[in-house]
């Protein structure tokens, strides 16, 4: 917003340098971005400053608005024009209704529409002073009528438009929606086709303006114009913004309407323009202004506590100074008793963003100057914030995975509808329903995810395409679904891990060896051990996993996690042709299974005694079931059971597999002898044979 300082002085005086004024405006929230002299020709120059007006201060997009701010800050008198009484005296006897009809069919998008008719207008060049005013702020003079509408817009911040009344079909103005593909040629020559969402100003045949944005070439004022219909209106800011963006038209008018104009000043700015047209173009103003204003807006009233203003600002400005600032901005203080603690402040229409007490306090801070607010250290007490169990689990799991060499990924909470269905049974019931988005940002992000795995797999495929063939990722986030016969959606906090491709070079893995089921199972066991959770492992019945290389972990009746190899066909469909190892943890179920308090166990005083046992057992028997039975039969001396070898081959009987366990025996009272360990070992062998049909394997 460019402001001419000489022009400002018509409404408020100040006795300070330009530099001091610029500093004052900047400290009050109107940042001065530039100030420079402008050459008007003929040896004339004028000082112009450019202000950065934030969107909530649309009232400062005018010289009167900026002058009001200066008056409020300095306390100097503010004397804007008062054209309304003079307009009443300037009306001629002919009624405007005989020359023009106005219909507002969209009061929701145009809450106020006014029009004046001026006859016997002589269009020509503007006088020198008016041209200089416009040139100083970067506008090009056109003719006296158009220049006056631009001058008043920059004076009041109220856009106006002048139509050649003789070019309007049936001398009628309609505020309406456009029809489908309705043609329009703007003043700048842009040819458009409107959709029905566009608000237009039209005559009985065609659009003559895109409301609040730009007029049409078919009704513009030219040197042949003798009768003018002068429009002044208030349009919905959102609709103006949408139309301006959609149709690619930007103007000084749309810039102001988007930020909101003073609905009460619509007629004042129109009166000012009409009087100037009469003065500079010799027009006659027909009486009886058209003013369609079906729902007048009530002025808001806000209670302001002086003590609260002092508390927020950390100052002691005093009641009189605070009220003086507010009155200087044009706000009306209803109760003016200085002994009162609370004041009722009436907000004028040109300040629609003032809605709460804190807004008024901000105005006081602005006018007093942000640089005058004392700097104080905040005083308060800090209360410790304890993480929730689920948050603690995620934090610890994230740290452990980073130590294991995995990288964290962050994906959208949306995925393709196909992936949401294919991975629905991750932790949702089979009859649950994925949640589709009403307005997705793209077709491949149309549904809320039901598992974290698709995002990780897609990230791995992207890495493979870019040459990174070894990918290890994890992610923490929510999954979403709607249970059967319910309306409310369910969100579950999850933690997922994925590994694919060859291992990075190291001493523990052969060069080129790819990640396999046991790698991901080891990661899961590491996480569960870290939380002190004992789980029972059962086959995982999920369609997206390899049935022979997958397992589900239960703590009691709650499933806390699953892991395995992704089904090869599904992995290939998602862009990966190598084994994909995955695991996913139900964080809330895991949090419920984590011991409330960890118990301290002193280091044993006596050493362990070790035995190995190799057994032949039927292939369907799960190793976890065997481990549980060994622990049960080996009590109370058996301290650890570890499976370290599994073998299946031609050398074994058909349908059998060989499992080798390392057993550790220990007593808290003494060092065990073979004579004490052997009976326990034999009871283990006997239990395995009787309950699982297992036999010792011959060496």
Contact of 219 with 164, CB cutoff 8 Å: yes
pLDDT digits (tens, 9 = 90+) for 581-630: 999 999 999 999 998 777 777 888 999 999 999 999 998 888 888 998 99
Examine domains 2-74 and 301-368 and report if their fold is the same.
yes
CB hemisphere CA count around 308 (13 angstroms): 13
Q: What is the spatial distance between Cα 347 and Cα 355, in angstroms, rounded to a whole number?
A: 8
Residue positions forming the annotated binding site: 359, 362-363
pLDDT band at 336 (very low <50, low <70, confident <90, very high): low
d(CA 97, CA 229): 12
pLDDT at 186: 92
- What is residue 339's predicted lDDT score, i.e. its pLDDT? 60
Judged on CB neighbours under 10 Å (0-12, 13-18, 19+), 298 is exposed
**Which stretch of DSSP H or E encloses residue 450?**
none
Strands 695-696 and 44-52, bridge-based pairing: unpaired
What does the block give as tokens for 189?
A: 């020559």
Q: What is the average pLDDT across 431-453?
A: 92
| Residue that is written with structure tokens 């005086």 in the block | 13
- Strands in 2-4's sheet, in edge-to-edge order, are 2-4, 44-52, 31-41
User: What pLDDT score does 507 carry?
Assistant: 62
Which residue ranges are tagged as binding site for Mg(2+)? 359, 362-363
> What pLDDT shows up at residue 338?
55
Q: Could you report the per-residue pLDDT of 352-380, keeping only the tens digit for each?
A: 888 899 999 998 988 888 888 888 777 77
Domain ranges of the chain: 2-74, 83-292, 301-368, 389-593, 609-696
Angle between helices 389-403 and 517-530 (to 10 degrees): 130
CA distance 357 to 683: 81
DSSP per-residue letters across 19-38: HHHHHHHHHTT-EEEEEEEE
Q: CATH topology for 301-368?
A: Phenylalanyl-tRNA Synthetase; Chain B, domain 1 (3.30.56)
Span 216-237, average pLDDT: 93
Q: Cα angle at 284 between 281 and 286, to 5 degrees?
A: 140
Whats the size of the chain, residue-wise?
A: 699
Does residue 116 register a pLDDT over 60?
yes
The whole-angstrom separation of Cα 591 and Cα 595 is: 9
Helix residue spans in 333-416 (DSSP H): 357-368, 389-403
Cβ-in-10-Å burial (0-12, 13-18, 19+) of 267 comes to buried
Distances (CA, A) of 574 to 98, 446, 468, 538, 671: 73, 17, 16, 27, 57
Query: pLDDT at position 432, please?
Result: 92
The fold adopted by the segment(s) 609-696 is: Alpha-Beta Plaits (3.30.70)
Q: How confident is the model at residue 40 (pLDDT cuts 50, 70, 90)?
A: confident
Top CATH class of 389-593 equals alpha beta
pLDDT band at residue 697 using 50, 70 and 90 as cut-offs: confident
Asked if residue 42 has a cis previous peptide bond (ω within 30° of 0), the answer is no
Cα(103)–Cα(252) distance, integer angstroms = 25
pLDDT (tens digit per residue) in 51-84: 998 888 888 999 999 999 899 888 889 999 999 9
Report whether pLDDT(202) > 90: yes
Of the two residues 374 and 464, the one the predictor is more confident about is: 464
Q: How many angstroms from the chain centroid is the CA of residue 587?
A: 27
For position 281, what pLDDT does the model report?
92
Q: Is 2-74 a domain of CATH 3.40.1360.10? A: no
Asked if 638 and 663 touch (Cβ cutoff 8 Å), the reply is yes
pLDDT of residue 699: 56
Q: What is the mean pLDDT of the chain?
A: 90
pLDDT at 521 over 80: yes
Q: Class of the 83-292 domain?
A: alpha beta
């Amino acid at each position: 917003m460019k402001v001419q300082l000489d022009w400002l002085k018509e409404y408020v005086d100040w006795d300070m340098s330009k530099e001091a004024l610029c500093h004052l405006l900047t400290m009050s929230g109107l940042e001065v971005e530039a100030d420079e002299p402008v050459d008007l020709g003929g040896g004339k120059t004028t000082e112009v400053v450019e202000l950065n007006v934030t969107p909530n201060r649309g009232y400062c997009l005018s010289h009167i608005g900026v002058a009001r701010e200066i008056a409020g800050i300095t306390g100097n008198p503010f004397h804007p024009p008062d054209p309304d009484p003079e307009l009443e005296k300037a009306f001629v006897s002919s009624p405007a209704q005989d020359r023009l009809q106005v219909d507002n069919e969209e009061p929701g998008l145009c809450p106020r529409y006014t029009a004046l008719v001026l006859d016997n207008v002589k269009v020509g060049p503007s006088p020198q002073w008016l041209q200089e005013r416009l040139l100083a702020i970067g506008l090009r003079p056109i003719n006296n009528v158009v220049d006056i509408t631009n001058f008043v817009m920059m004076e009041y911040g109220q856009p106006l438009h002048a139509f050649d009344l003789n070019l309007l079909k049936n001398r009628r103005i309609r505020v309406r929606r456009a029809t489908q593909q309705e043609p329009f040629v703007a003043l700048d020559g842009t040819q458009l086709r409107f959709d029905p969402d566009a608000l237009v100003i039209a005559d009985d045949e065609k659009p003559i303006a895109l409301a609040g944005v730009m007029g049409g070439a078919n009704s513009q004022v030219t040197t042949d114009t003798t009768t003018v219909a002068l429009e002044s209106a208030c349009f919905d800011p959102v609709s103006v913004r949408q139309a301006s963006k959609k149709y690619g038209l930007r103007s000084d008018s749309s810039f102001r309407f988007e930020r909101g104009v003073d609905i009460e000043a619509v007629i004042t700015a129109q009166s000012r323009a009409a009087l100037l047209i009469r003065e500079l173009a010799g027009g006659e103003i027909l009486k009886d202004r058209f003013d369609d204003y079906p729902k007048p807006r009530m002025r808001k009233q806000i209670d302001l506590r002086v003590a609260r203003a002092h508390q927020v600002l950390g100052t002691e400005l005093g009641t009189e100074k605070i009220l003086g600032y507010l009155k200087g901005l044009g706000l009306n203080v209803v109760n003016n008793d200085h002994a009162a603690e609370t004041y009722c402040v009436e907000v004028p229409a040109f300040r629609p963003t003032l809605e709460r007490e804190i807004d008024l306090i901000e105005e006081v801070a602005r006018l007093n100057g942000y640089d005058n607010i004392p700097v104080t250290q905040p005083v308060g007490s800090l209360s410790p914030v304890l993480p929730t169990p689920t948050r603690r689990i995620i934090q610890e799991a994230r740290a452990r995975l980073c130590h294991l060499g995995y990288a964290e990924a962050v994906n959208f909470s949306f995925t393709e509808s196909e992936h949401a269905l294919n991975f629905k049974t991750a932790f949702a019931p089979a009859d649950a329903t994925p949640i589709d988005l009403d307005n997705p940002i793209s077709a491949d992000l149309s549904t809320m995810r039901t598992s974290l795995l698709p995002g990780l797999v897609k990230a791995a495929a992207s890495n493979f395409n870019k040459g990174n063939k070894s990918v290890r990722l994890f992610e923490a986030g929510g999954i979403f679904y709607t249970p059967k016969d319910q309306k409310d959606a369910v969100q579950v906090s999850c933690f997922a891990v994925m590994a694919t491709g060859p291992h990075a070079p190291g001493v523990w893995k052969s060069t080129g060896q790819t990640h396999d089921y046991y790698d991901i199972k080891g990661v899961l066991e590491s996480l569960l051990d870290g939380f002190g959770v004992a789980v029972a492992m059962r086959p995982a019945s999920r369609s997206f996993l390899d049935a022979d290389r997958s397992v589900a972990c239960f703590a009691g009746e709650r499933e806390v996690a699953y892991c395995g190899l992704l089904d090869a066909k599904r992995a290939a469909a998602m862009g990966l042709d190598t084994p994909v190892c995955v695991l996913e943890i139900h964080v809330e179920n895991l949090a419920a299974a984590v011991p409330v308090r960890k118990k301290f166990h002193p280091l044993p005083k006596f050493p362990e005694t070790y035995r190995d046992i190799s057994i032949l057992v039927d292939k369907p028997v799960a190793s976890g079931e065997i481990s549980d039975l060994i622990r049960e039969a080996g009590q109370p001396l058996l301290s650890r059971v570890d499976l370290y070898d599994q073998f299946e081959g031609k050398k074994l009987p058909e349908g059998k597999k060989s499992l080798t366990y390392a057993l550790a025996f220990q007593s808290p009272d003494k060092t065990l002898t073979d004579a004490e360990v052997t009976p326990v070992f034999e009871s283990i062998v006997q239990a395995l044979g009787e309950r699982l049909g297992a036999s010792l394997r011959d060496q």
